[in-house]
Structure 1
Amino acid sequence: MSQASSFNGFEHDDAFDVDWLRVDGDHELYFEQYGNPEGKAVIYLHGGPGGHISKPNTVFFSPKTYRTVLLDQRGCGRSRPNASIHNNTTWHLVADIETLRQHLKISKWHIVFGGSWGSTLALAYAQTHPSSVGSLVLRGIFTVREFELKWTMLPGGASKLFPEHFEEFLNFLPEEERADHIEAYNKRLMSDDERVSHPAARAWNKWELSISTLYPNLPGLAQLDDTSFNLAHARIEAHYFRNRAWLEEGQLLRKENIDKIRDIPMTIVQGRYDVVCPSITAWDLHKAWPESKLHLINDAGHSVTEPGTTAKLIEVVEEYASLSIER
């Protein structure tokens, strides 16, 4: 195990632990552990909803310092069953993180690390189980407020910056289905006929991937050829968005909820030109929680792989290694 450059992050050996954890009669969660089994425990919360983990998620964490836990959320990645929305809500996922912590006999997460939807889930988890969280490192803040959903999914927001991609997103649907394209997509994504669900998933995901980086990222579109990723990401994301992630409007930013976690060290890393999760939400979180640290990356969009974002996250995680956190 060796440290690469600050741009590339840390190199890891293969996972020292790979397993599934049954959390109810339907779901088994896939997880991996990397780094130092006796190190400071960090959990990486992937985005989406409906994303998945992969070994490159470990680049932020020194293998000498950290015990890094990667978790595929319900219905995602190698968790079973794939693309299932049954018993799959924000609060199921919050409970799953706590169940996993207890299963792994981790007294407290040294860091809960999440980006995009992962930042939403990290905040919801911390506000529910504050005594289980030593610190938070969040990127691309998303709190599922009405205007955040409209910005990305309806005309008038991101569509103004990427009109050709949004038109492609709409034009996948027959003209008579475009009046309520979210509902039309949802019906297709939930179809048991793969000839219906899979093309819809590809079109849904292509819109988001097309606007996720500051500069076009054609290699990133290769994910669209992974049918298990495509359906899980699109189906679960649509399921969560239609239900506003089972959160009340502005719930995660309310003073009474921030007060529950105000004493937890927290740093936000936000791409200035993030079009998926615009900077205003990171700013609103920082204003609600002025004790937090906010780093705006002036040459970055949404993706965690943007060079400036990656470098700053590695720097913050290294800084947090020295935090004294009661276990």
Structure 2
Amino acid sequence: MYPPIEPYLTGKLKVSDIHELYYEISGNKDGTPVVFLHGGPGGGTDPQDRSFFNPDKYKIILFDQRGSGKSTPSASLEDNTTWDLVKDIEVLREKLGVEKWHGSTLSLAEEYVAPIPEEERHDMILAYHAQLNSVDEETRIRAAKAWSKWEMATSRLYVDPAYITRAADDDFANAFARIENHYFINSGFMKDGQLLEKQSIDKIRHIPTVVVQGRYDVVCPATTAHALKKAFPELTLHIVPDAGHSAREPGTSKLLVEATDKFADL
């Protein structure tokens, strides 16, 4: 990955009566515009996300999605769907005067189940949904920390204690868990298999696409990447043999940087 850099511009963008998004720009002011879409949903951006891109070639745009990171109101689920986020990306593009840009998209078992009564464990997403939206703040935060710790722990092939500490932060855990669960319980606001349908793939088939997938990813299993490759054979698929879900595992980050370097020269 590239060395750490600081943004030369930060700002807030009002996208609805409720939501205001944090955004930042770093790298080359005259470079190829690239927007980084953070994980979760609900995870927010991290300064390390800038380092996937060559700062001499890219105008690097990061933003926190609705309810995430520095965007406000934190952890809000109101007017927070996949399609709201899609519209926000377009509003941000227009705000920054970008004609077009490249896009990058880019937890421990007992602690995960502990907040959930045994009789509710047949549907963990639904059970967590109830607790993450409880009127009792202590219940919400306890569930949010358990949910977030589970994902932090399962995101890498080898558990990284330092990475898991993010889940101890009340604000981060609350936003990450509530928003991610909100999307899960609503099936991403899409019908099953919608993104793999021919009419969906045909809209992007002409765009050079690289998918970097960890072989041992238990958050978004490799079968999903293979299904996409089958529907979209023109894409380049890399399976990283010694990686899980996190984009910051060495093999994965190396291939992501190689991909952004390649795109910079298109």
Do these two structures clear the TM 0.5 threshold for a shared fold by scoring above it?
Answer: yes
Match of 1:101 in 2: 93
Aligned counterparts, 1:189-208, within 5 A: 189-208=132-151
**2: CA distance, partners of 1:296 / 1:281:** 12
**2: CA distance, partners of 1:186 / 1:267:** 34
Shift of 1:19: 0.5
Shift of 1:168: 3.1
**2: CA distance, partners of 1:39 / 1:182:** 42
Shift of 1:247: 0.3
Which SS does the other structure have where 1:92 is aligned?
Answer: helix
**2: CA distance, partners of 1:283 / 1:178:** 30
1:15 aligns with 2:1: no
Number of residue pairs aligned between Structure 1 and Structure 2 = 266
Native 8 Å contact 2:37 2:63 kept in 1: yes
Which SS does the other structure have where 2:121 is aligned?
Answer: helix
Match of 2:258 in 1: 315
For residues 185-242 of structure 1, the C-alpha deviation after alignment (integer angstroms, 9 at most, x for no partner) is 2121112432111011011112212211111211111101211110011111111111
**Normalization by structure 1: what TM-score?**
0.79
Aligned counterparts, 1:59-78, within 5 A: 59-78=51-70
**1: CA distance, partners of 2:52 / 2:97:** 23
Match of 1:230 in 2: 173
Which of 103, 120, 138 is the equivalent residue of 1:112?
103
Instruction: Name the CA shift for 1:260/1:267 in 2 (closer, same or farther; >3 Å).
Output: same
Code of the residue aligned with 1:315 in structure 2: it is E
**1: CA distance, partners of 2:4 / 2:111:** 39
Match of 1:262 in 2: 205
**1: CA distance, partners of 2:123 / 2:202:** 38
**Normalization by structure 2: what TM-score?**
0.96
Match of 2:227 in 1: 284
**2: CA distance, partners of 1:89 / 1:185:** 18
Code of the residue aligned with 2:187 in structure 1: it is R
- Comparing 216-225 and 81-90, the one that deviates more: 216-225
**2: CA distance, partners of 1:314 / 1:244:** 30
Shift of 1:179: 4.1
Which of 35, 45, 48 is the equivalent residue of 1:43?
35
Code of the residue aligned with 1:82 in structure 2: it is S
Shift of 1:174: 2.8
> How large is the RMSD of aligned CA atoms in angstroms?
1.4
For residues 90-122 of structure 1, the C-alpha deviation after alignment (integer angstroms, 9 at most, x for no partner) is 00000000000000000000x20004xxxxxxx
**2: CA distance, partners of 1:254 / 1:39:** 34
Native 8 Å contact 1:269 1:295 kept in 2: yes
1:25 aligns with 2:17: yes
Match of 1:242 in 2: 185
Match of 1:214 in 2: 157
Code of the residue aligned with 1:23 in structure 2: it is V
For residues 117-145 of structure 1, the C-alpha deviation after alignment (integer angstroms, 9 at most, x for no partner) is xxxxxxxxxxxxxxxxxxxxxxxxxxxxx
Code of the residue aligned with 1:101 in structure 2: it is R
Code of the residue aligned with 1:229 in structure 2: it is F
**2: CA distance, partners of 1:266 / 1:37:** 24
Which of 34, 56, 62 is the equivalent residue of 2:48?
56
**2: CA distance, partners of 1:210 / 1:90:** 25
Shift of 1:12: 4.2
Shift of 1:173: 2.0
**2: CA distance, partners of 1:272 / 1:217:** 18
Code of the residue aligned with 1:71 in structure 2: it is F
Native 8 Å contact 1:12 1:35 kept in 2: no
Code of the residue aligned with 2:65 in structure 1: it is Q
**1: CA distance, partners of 2:29 / 2:181:** 37
Which SS does the other structure have where 2:164 is aligned?
Answer: helix
**2: CA distance, partners of 1:311 / 1:81:** 35
Aligned counterparts, 1:149-160, within 5 A: none
Unaligned runs of 5+ in 2: none
Native 8 Å contact 2:5 2:50 kept in 1: no
Percent same amino acid among aligned pairs? 47
Code of the residue aligned with 2:182 in structure 1: it is H
